[in-house]
Amino acid sequence: MTTASGKLHGVKEDGLAVFRGIPYALPPVGERRWQPPAPQTAWEGARDAIDFGPACLQPEPRSASIYAEKYPAMSEDCLTLNVWAPEDARNAPVFVWIHGGALTSGSSRVPMYDGAALAQSGLVVVSINYRLGMLGYFAHAALSAESPEGVSGNYGLLDQIAALQWVQRNISAFGGNPENVTIAGESAGALSVMYLMVAPAARELFHRAIAQSAYMVTAPALKEKVYGQPPMEEVGSWLMDKLGAKANDMAALRAMDAAELINASSKTGYFPFVAVDGKVVPRQLVESFDRGEQAPVPMIAGFNSGEIRSLRFLLPPAPADAKAYEASIRKGYGELADTFLQHYPATNMEESMLAATRDAMYGWTAERLVARQSALDVPAYLYYFDHSYTSADDSGLHGFHAMEIPYIFGTAERTPPRWPKVPEDEVNSSMSAAMLGYWSSFARSGVPRAEKHPEWPPFAAGESYMHFAETARADKHLLPGVFELHEKVVCLRRAGGEIAWNWNVGVIAPPLPGEVKDCP
């Protein structure tokens, strides 16, 4: 295989040509730490592309987490991608997977993301690494001063754009069609999909989008305080101080050991996030989508019924009793409190708190995405994943966050060690065939279809959605009234300008600003 940078030696596996650990940019080390990715230069001879590249540096995972994976290697030199292609691929659709992990963890080498089954359906599958944590999302005034654009911080997102540019230059050599590229991701990968949809530098690099459990939360700005959040450059100065580094001494910070930097920054409580810088990211996601500035591409978006069951750290402490719960809701939601309590009653606080946080972050985002794409007159498809099985239910994890992934990739036997084991039975096999079929069909044509499974109508057809439960079935009007409630809350908080709109849900919600004429 010959790419723009040189020849590659891959492997043949079950009718596929597989190439792992392909560098798509120069190593972001030394002076290139906290710089936009530089294009990979040419190499001499043939390069082995047999093994996955190292995972990007990240803290050691919590051993009790169902998502925890052990990687054989981690490195700052991690900007690689992997390709699975049918051996006879010619002008095949391309599916680019962006892993999740809160912009802090994860890797393209996770076995559950193996692209073989999707590739055997006729796709060329690409999975990518991108810088994480402080190495991927660290802003500082000194770094902005170095930049011709006057910005800093969004290096992980720039890595993703560089990977898509690599796809445009090289995927034809693997039998892929650079004019039919689908970007897809889950959780932080889906967050990344949304930012790629609004990033000017990513325009024209993809043609469809899939966002699984995306969260359109408030983003900090680079240089100013917005919605109660400090500027990311200011956060960068705070972090340098916590790390014992001299102000503005980027040379010293670049000289620090990368692994020590990642672990030390994690211990400070630093939370990496995309910054609204006016260049890479022009404005808040909600505003870009309201203005219709996002890429006008067909889209699948959805969420899972039990998102928060495996993410309980997102829940606030439970009130002492139902009376205290109701009092907190009335204090925070004012005139919307009765509506909130109708959807999330005090009679079962735990379930109400799980559902409220799920809906405010993931459900509201999914429906908003498909509604805004539909407004651009492009097809958009909504789903609700409510499938489960005994071992997950027994662990209190019905429909948990990311549970849909092995069904889409056909990798039920390759989940992380603590993941509730997926049964080998007809129900789960059929669900995987359905989801893999819908996703691969969408990548192929922009319309999700699966043999022997129902037609999936677009959202614009009467607020339609696909309900993945025991089986797949089409339905209408998912969770009536819930989207409207959270849209009103977000609108009021945006108008007030002092409150973030997604992290403070339910009993910890600050009082809403007063009525605003333009809020629905």
Q: Where are the alpha helices (DSSP H) in 232-304?
A: 232-242, 250-255, 258-267, 285-290
DSSP line for 388-414:
--HHHHHTT-TTBTTTTHHHHHT-GGG
CA dihedral 81, 445, 302, 190 (to 10 degrees): 20
What backbone phi and psi angles, to 5 degrees, belong to 261? Answer: -65, -45
Instruction: Please name which of 376, 379, 354 lies closest in space to residue 301, comparing C-alpha atoms.
Output: 379
Tell me the two tokens of residue 107: 């890797």
How many CA atoms lie less than 13 Å away from 397 in the CB half-sphere? 21
What residues are labeled active site? 187, 307, 401
CB neighbour list of residue 41: distance below 8 Å, 6 or more residues apart: 5, 26
Tell me the two tokens of residue 512: 């809403």
Residue 32 one-letter amino acid: R
CB 74 within 8 A of CB 54: yes
Residue with tokens 């043939």: 46
d(CA 153, CA 15): 41
How many CA atoms lie less than 13 Å away from 138 in the CB half-sphere? 25
Tell me the two tokens of residue 269: 């409580």
Residue with tokens 């849909």: 404
CB 289 within 8 A of CB 380: no
